[in-house]
Structure 1
Amino acid sequence: MDDPIQGKPPTFWQMLQSVLAAAFGVQTGKNRARDFNHGKASHFIALGTLFTLLFILALVGLVQLAMHLTAP
């Protein structure tokens, strides 16, 4: 992966990986350093908000499906 000292901003896929790692509560020190040193907070906030909304919609959809399948 990229060295956090290089000064490159993280790519979309690296930011998505960081958001998913944050959702599970795990992140490598190298990636955390890259995100804090070279990433824009607004990008992570937007991606994290989008992920959260999609996660909630997926849960609501699964509950609706379970309710539909168990209804007489």
Structure 2
Amino acid sequence: MDEPSENKAPTLWQMLHSVGAAALGVQSGKNRARDFTHGKPSHFILLGILFTVIFGLTLYGIVNLVLYFAGV
């Protein structure tokens, strides 16, 4: 699906996929090697922080929704 990108920086979609896979602990060795070789750390740090904030807000929203329907 993705074209071979031996010497190219990862695309935004590839970086999002890498951050999500790393968060779940299922990052492949090939993608990890690509990220460390061609990716910029600042991009992954920013995406990781953004992912964490969105994940936290999602959990907060789900808990509030459950508590609302539980009548608490």
Normalising by structure 1, we get a TM-score of: 0.91
Partner of 1:53: 53
Partner of 2:15: 15
* Deviations 1:36-62 (CA, angstroms, capped at 9, x unpaired): 000000000000100000000000000
CA distance in 2, matches of 1:19, 1:8: 18
| Displacement over 3 Å in runs of 4+ | 1-4
Q: Which amino acid aligns with 1:26?
A: V
User: Number of matched residues?
Assistant: 71
| Residue 28 (structure 1) shift | 1.1
Q: Secondary structure of the residue that 2:7 maps to in structure 1? A: coil
Unmatched 5+ residue regions in structure 1? Answer: none
CA distance in 2, matches of 1:11, 1:45: 15
Task: Tell me, yes or no, if structure 1 residue 69 matches structure 2 residue 69.
Answer: yes
Superposition RMSD in Å: 1.3
Unmatched 5+ residue regions in structure 2? Answer: none
Normalising by structure 2, we get a TM-score of: 0.91
Partner of 1:30: 30
- Give percent identity, aligned residues only: 58
